Amino acid sequence: MEHQPQPVFESASPQGTPVVLVLASGRGERFRASGGQTHKLQADLGGRTVLQRTLDAVQASGLDWHLEDRGHPGMGDSIAAAVRATAQAPGWLILPGDLPLVRPETLRRVAEALSGSAVVMPIHAGAKGHPVGFAAVCREGLLALSGDVGAASVWRHWQALGQSLALEVDDPGIVTDIDTLDDLARAAAHWR
């Protein structure tokens, strides 16, 4: 994976805003199985890599961010490592690196909505997407994650307690991930 400079998460955003955790540790097996010749995050999308496009949106949001690309065995391990690396953050927005069409304003909306809920799940046209926002109260649950399972168990816990928010957003980018060459071709149409 190409390493990006890591910001000091306390400095760029207003105090009290969550950190965007960009997850880039996956193996990308479905992309290669579909005929991809490189890792999906390094695939070209309008002259930049998929990961660079995702990071462009994150940086344009003005929120602090952390890139987790150290090759963990599963998504749960990646999330736990990223939370550990930013443990003093007041919350986190979990964003897989293969969502290059997510809009910066969506990231900001999820961050703002997090001030009133333990978990914020963005929804577009009835479909759940990313980034999912988690307040600091979720820290221990996120740190306990491991293996291939993401943070759905943490979300379900807080949903059962009535502390989650489904946030409708007009952003198909929250559900437009790049898993296959066909996904990449559909996303590339955005830059034509």
Output the CA torsion sign for 39, 126, 46, 9.
negative
Domain that holds residue 138: 19-191
Report d(CA 70, CA 65) in Å as an integer.
15
Q: Is residue 178 part of a domain?
A: yes
Q: Spell out the per-residue pLDDT of the chain, length 192, in tens.
A: 444 434 433 334 445 799 999 999 877 788 888 888 888 999 999 999 999 999 999 999 999 999 998 876 788 999 999 999 999 999 999 999 999 999 999 999 999 999 989 999 999 999 999 999 999 999 999 999 998 888 999 999 999 999 999 999 999 999 999 999 999 999 998 876
Q: What is the CATH number of the domain that holds 55?
A: 3.90.550.10
Q: Kindly report whether the peptide bond that precedes residue 14 is cis, defined as omega within 30 degrees of 0.
A: no
Helices assigned H by DSSP within 27-138: 29-33, 50-61, 75-85, 104-113
Q: Is residue 133 part of a domain?
A: yes
Domain count, the chain: 1
Q: Is residue 11 part of a domain?
A: no
The residues with which 93 forms a beta bridge, in sequence order, are 20, 133
The residues with which 59 forms a beta bridge, in sequence order, are none
Reference 19, options 53, 52, 68; nearest CA is: 68
The one-character DSSP state at 146 is -
Whole-number CA gyration radius for the chain: 16
Q: Is residue 12 part of a domain?
A: no
Q: How far is CA 91 from CA 57, 137, 174, 176, in A?
A: 19, 8, 19, 24
Tokens 């880039």 sit at which residue? 24
Q: Is residue 83 part of a domain?
A: yes
